[in-house]
Amino acid sequence: MMNSTRQHCGRALGRRLVRSAAALLLAGCGSNPPPQLGPGQLFPMEVRQALGGDWASPEYQQARVRLLEMGPELDAILVDLIEDRRARTIARANAMVLLADRRSPIALPMLSRAVGYENEVLRSAAVLALSRIAPTSDAAIELIRAATRDRSRTVRLNALQGLEIREVETIRALLEWEEDPEVRQVALQLLSLAEARGAALNPDRRGALRTAGGENEGQIVFRPVTYDSASMVARGDLRLELPEQPDLPLAASALVVANVVPAFFSSDRSAVVVEAADELRVADIDTRYVRSLGPGIAPRLIPFTQDFVFLRERIEERMQTRDGLELVYDVYRASFEDPETELIGELRAMQKTNVHGGESPVRWMVVGEEGEGFVLHGQNVTTFPLRTPVWSPRPESSSRTTNP
């Protein structure tokens, strides 16, 4: 009885703290009364009714747009709705996501409480909402990491979807103990995607690097012949190991920097793109046919497409500066399905003798997320935006060439 009373008091105190914080933030630290609802704005009951509607309906979407544009006085209404156990679960869940999308200053403390709710639908919604603010909040990322260990598979799935490329170690940690087949499959897919976007691999006991894959799937495997532990620069054999089939050699002397392997699968795992001797090649796994895309290095997958990018250096434009050797690259877009390549822009990088043995930093750059799209970025590399069908069309002015 005593423990139950303490738990109830603890929850009540937590609610009061969140509401007090909301009141302070929305009222200018208590110096002025909270703003009043003005003409044309929604009252609490109308907000609850709107957020409890069908998410896919035009009416809901129109109401949501209006709510997004309302002033800070709406935040207190959303907090009350989220904390109200008598309200519809769907309305409380939608209020969490809306609070995050509004970039409310009370969103993080509110969501940090919500990830501990008993209702798994609400915990899942809290994790989804946290993913909206994670790009600018380390605290939100930490809460999402913790949610990968939630007892609910739905929450864990939402947490996985909210992890960015830099969180590959969190995904690998989950795979060490996760038993649910669907969660494992999603985690493996996300890990494979991250590796194709430039994430580093972890060496096994013998120093080999292996890409992620299921029990009956092939793996790209790098075995170093030479390795400098100080610079993390290695050269060695790169090949595709297939279950119950002969290996497919990819590169006899591949260059690997910072454990980033210059090869990855297509999204359907029917082909592999690889950098071999400063040349880009695409190998069909079934036929073992290999086609060349010409000179190039550092291939990276473009998410949500069957395309990838790679770089060709303009060697004649190298320039020694006080900070290091400035390198200029042409960025090309290519496809697993089309023999053509497309010049889409220019990228610059600063090569430094004291960083990874003086290798070009493009060798460990990644495809990250920025704003509403994807970019190439990395240490001493200029950020380069990648257009995808999800965010924006390909540039019409790009030149196209056909490889022999």
Alpha carbons 246 and 333: distance in angstroms, whole number = 31
AA identity, residue 35: P
The pLDDT-based confidence of 164 (bands split at 50, 70, 90) is: confident
In a domain, 58, yes or no: yes
Q: Is 39 exposed, middle or buried (0-12, 13-18, 19+ CB in 10 A)?
A: exposed
Summarize the confidence of residues 195-206 as an average pLDDT. Answer: 93
* Residue 100 CB-half CA count within 13 A: 26
Residue 109 and residue 54 share a domain: yes
Residue 205 and residue 153 share a domain: no
Residue 232 and residue 127 share a domain: no
Residue 143, pLDDT score: 97
Residue 360 and residue 257 share a domain: yes
Alpha carbons 88 and 81: distance in angstroms, whole number = 9
Domain C-terminal end among 113, 143, 162: 162
Residue 222 and residue 332 share a domain: yes
pLDDT digits (tens, 9 = 90+) for 11-24: 443 444 344 334 33
CATH number at residue 94: 1.25.10.10
Alpha carbons 15 and 76: distance in angstroms, whole number = 12
In a domain, 331, yes or no: yes
Q: Is 241 exposed, middle or buried (0-12, 13-18, 19+ CB in 10 A)?
A: middle
129: nearest Cα among 98, 156, 164, 105? 98
In a domain, 13, yes or no: no
Residue 151 and residue 49 share a domain: yes
Q: Which of these ranges, 3-12, 24-33, 43-52, 236-245, has the smallest mean pLDDT?
A: 24-33
Alpha carbons 121 and 282: distance in angstroms, whole number = 44
Instruction: Classify each residue of 209-238 as buried b or exposed e, where b means 16 or more C-beta atoms within 10 Å of its C-beta.
Output: bbbbbeeeebbbbbbbeeeeeeebbbbbbb
Distances in Å between the alpha carbon of 58 and those of 53, 55, 68, 125? Answer: 10, 8, 15, 21
In a domain, 295, yes or no: yes
pLDDT digits (tens, 9 = 90+) for 44-97: 888 998 899 888 888 889 989 999 998 888 999 999 999 999 999 999 999 999
Alpha-carbon Rg for the chain, nearest whole angstrom, is 25
Residue 236 and residue 280 share a domain: yes
Q: Which residue has the tokens 């002397």?
A: 253
Alpha carbons 362 and 16: distance in angstroms, whole number = 50
In a domain, 12, yes or no: no
Residue 213 and residue 104 share a domain: no
In a domain, 179, yes or no: no
Residue 239 and residue 125 share a domain: no
Q: At what angle do helices 73-83 and 44-51 cross, to 10 degrees?
A: 60
Domain count, the chain: 2
Alpha carbons 222 and 240: distance in angstroms, whole number = 9
| Helix or strand holding residue 325 (H, E) | strand 325-335
Alpha carbons 188 and 75: distance in angstroms, whole number = 38
Beta bridge partners of 282: 273, 291
Domain C-terminal end among 139, 162, 185: 162
219: nearest Cα among 227, 228, 210, 209? 210
Alpha carbons 106 and 225: distance in angstroms, whole number = 54
In three state form, how does the secondary structure of 206-254 look?
CCCEECCCCCCCCEEEEEEEEEECCCCEEEEEEEEECCCCCCEEEEEEE
Summarize the confidence of residues 282-297 as an average pLDDT. Answer: 96
Alpha carbons 264 and 274: distance in angstroms, whole number = 7
> What range defines the domain where residue 53 resides?
34-162
Domain C-terminal end among 121, 147, 162: 162
Residue 43, pLDDT score: 80
Q: Which residue has the tokens 């490889």?
A: 403
pLDDT at 197 over 90: yes
In a domain, 182, yes or no: no
Phi-psi region at 4: left, alpha or beta (left = phi > 0; alpha = psi -120 to 50): alpha
Residue 203, pLDDT score: 94
Residue 76 and residue 141 share a domain: yes
In a domain, 25, yes or no: no
Residue 199 and residue 136 share a domain: no
Alpha carbons 258 and 200: distance in angstroms, whole number = 7
Residue 223 and residue 126 share a domain: no
pLDDT digits (tens, 9 = 90+) for 313-357: 999 999 999 999 999 999 999 999 888 999 999 999 999 999 999
